[in-house]
Every structure is written in structure tokens, then in C-alpha cells.
Amino acid sequence: MNKSMTGAAVCLLVLAAIPLDGQQPKVHVLKPTPKTVTWGYYDPESKPVLKIKSGDTVEVQTLLAGTPERLRDAFLPVEEIEPALIAVVNEVKDKGPAGHILTGPIFIEGTEPGDTLEVRVKEVKLAINYGFTGFVARRGFLPEDFDRTRTRIIRLDEKRMVGYFGKGIEIPLRPFFGCMGVAPPPSAGRVSSGPPGVHAGNLDNTELVAGTTLFIPVHVPGALFSVGDGHAAQGNGEVCLTAIETSLKGTLQFVVRKDLKLRWPRAETPTHYIVMGLDKDLTKATKLAVREAVDFLVTHKELSPDEAYMLTSLAVDFSITQLVDGTLGVHGMIPKGLFRKK
């Protein structure tokens, strides 16, 4: 959906969601168990836990990125710890270096390297009534300032959609999945789910709430999509290393895009197109995001490179996505309101 939403484009998107065999799209349910999750990595050799067709929808549930021990240390009553989390922690032995428990991977039939996987985020809901936040000694964006470890339980009010941080402090909730990604290129092998990359993964992009769409370049047959790292709320930067980490339920629809070729993940909200830049150096990440904005405007809005560069300077807002995962993120917000409907 990196083109203006003309009637013809809408028609094409509707057709794209219908499998080639003519069958109606199906709805699948995927819950986290020791056999349906991967812990801390994306891997082109992973075995899929679910196979679906383009256009199908998956009602998926994810577990928070934390252990029962950390929750107990923060004085969460033992009876409130999810049985699924306890089972995964006790039974999953193959763990990567990061702490994300990812539901998947999902194999989308007909997807080949060079395609784009369109992930439509239909719904994101809280799965439990609490989350946690905190920092680890000498981690986060200010490791030199904090040589201790702290964890805090934050109660979540789904009716009012706020989190209770402390006396007189309520945080508006905008739940989203911090990790949505596909398998990396085979040459990369297994990669940590900590740093994001060309496979998307741990983007920690607060804009990817219900009603948005993520576009990810595909690197292996079937894409092998995994999701997790549920956040009830997060500030851009995620400076202490965590958001409000919680378990979520989501409804995701997957569409294989043969017509769209991307080098980096992109996204779309009802009001903006989103470009992204990822690099260990913040300046390089920003340059990449700016170049992605220029490329988008040239390719999809028929501007010259000179015009696109100037328009980017005048109307595109660039923000730090996250600062704490090794690979830093910057995203640019291109307002749809700039472009009159033809």
C-alpha cells in the first residue's frame, strides 16, 4: 500500500487478499506453547508451527518478554503469572541471546525471496491486566548512570486504557507488538531478536498499533513470520530498555505482495506512510530513513529526486524509534494529507 488509494488500487488490494486457488481466506488461531514459540532469535532454518495462505488471518497470542522470577521479584502474586509463561520457561531449551518469546514462525504459502509480506494489524488487545517495566544494571541508554537493576509491576486498566505507574501518574495505553519479523537472509544464519534489521523484528515502533500495516521484504520461502514483545505503551526511544512489557492478543492478516519490492521495512497508518532506517550509528540510521523517504516519493508519488528531497525537508517528521537494542532505529512520517486524491 505504498501507492495512493485510488479505486483501482483498492480493488487490487482486495484481489491480493484472495488466494490463487480461489478459496476464501481462513482464520487461524495460534497460542503460545513450548511447541509454538521461538525464544530470542529469528532463524531461516526454523521449522514453521503454522502454514497459511495469502489472505488468511491469524488470531495470535504472545507472552511478555520476562521470566516468572523477575515478576516474583517485583512482588507480583505467584497465582497471577500465566501458566503458559511458566510452561515455556520450563520446557523451551533452545534459546537465543535475547529475551523475547516469539509466537511462530508462520509459513505463508507462495511467498518467495524478493517478495514483500504485507502484515495488516487488524486488532491488538491486552491479554492480562498487568505489565512490567524496569532496567538492568549498566544497560539501557544511560548505563553509566544506573548500576543497579529495578523492575516495577504496572497495573493495566483495559476499560479506561491506562496504566497506573504511580501515585497520580496514569499512562495512556497504545498496545502494539515490539517484534514483528520474518526470517533473515540465509547468509546471516540465526540472528538475535534484540536488534532489528532488514527482516524487521524488534522494531519497537509505537506507530504499529491496530489499524496499521507493516511491509517486510522476504528472504526465505514462506517468509517465516514471528511476533512477540508485546507493549502496552512505550515512548519513542525506549531509553531504559523496556516499555510496559505485557502479553497481548492480536489479529493479523497476511498478504503476499509480488508487485512490491523493498530493501527495508516500511509501514502505513490511516494518516501516514512510514519509512525506516536501522543502523548501529544513529546518523547512518537517519540518513537511511531520509533516503527511504526520498525513494518512496520518487517511486510512488512520481516526484524527481530533487523535489522529493525538498518535500522531505518541508513535510516529513523523523523520530528516534529506539536507542537500546544495538541497532538503532529512526522512522520518518510522511503525511498522506500532502497528496490530493486524483
At 19 the pLDDT is 57
Q: What are the grid coordinates assigned to 20, written together?
A: 490463487
Q: Are residues 180 and 114 in the same domain?
A: yes
Side-chain half-sphere exposure of 249, counting CA atoms within 13 A: 9
Same-domain check for residues 295 and 153: no
| pLDDT score of 2 more than 80 | no
Same domain for 188 and 70: yes
Both 254 and 279 in a single domain? no
Which of 217, 232, 260 is the last residue before a domain boundary? Answer: 260
How does pLDDT run across 43-58, given as a tens digit for each residue? Answer: 999 999 999 999 999 9
Is residue 11 scored above 50 in pLDDT? Answer: no
pLDDT tens readout for residues 141-166: 999 999 999 999 999 999 999 999 99
pLDDT beyond 70 at 22: no
- pLDDT per position as a tens digit, 260-293: 999 999 999 999 999 999 999 999 999 999 999 9
Task: Report the pLDDT value the prediction gives residue 12, as an integer from 0 to 100.
Answer: 41
User: Do 248 and 203 contact (CB within 8 A), yes or no?
Assistant: no
Mean pLDDT throughout 105-116?
98
Contact between 19 and 54 (Cβ < 8 Å)? yes
Residue 306 DSSP SS3: helix
Record the pTM: 0.92
Residue 144 and residue 104 share a domain: yes
The share of the chain scoring above pLDDT 70, in percent, equals 93
- Could you check whether the bond before residue 105 is cis, i.e. omega within 30 degrees of 0? yes
Q: Are residues 191 and 322 in the same domain?
A: no
pLDDT given at position 9: 40
- Is residue 60's pLDDT more than 60? yes
Tell me the per-residue pLDDT of 192-205, one tens digit each, with 9 for 90 and over: 999 999 999 999 99
Domain that holds residue 249: 26-260
Looking at the fold, whether 159 and 241 belong to one and the same domain comes out as yes
Bridge partners (DSSP) listed for residue 318? 332
CB contact at 8 A, 218 and 86? no
My answer on whether 251 and 276 are in the same domain is no
Say how far apart CA 206 and CA 274 lie, in whole Å. Answer: 12
CATH of residue 315: 3.10.28.20
Least confident of 17-21, 130-134, 262-266, 337-341: 17-21
Total count of domains within the chain: 2
Flag whether 63 is in a domain.
yes
Check residue 264 and give its pLDDT: 98
Same-domain status, 244 and 276: no
Band (pLDDT 50/70/90 cuts) for residue 342 is low
Is residue 95 scored above 90 in pLDDT?
A: yes
Task: Quickly tell me which residue has 522512522 as its cell.
Answer: 331
Decide if pLDDT at 71 tops 70.
yes
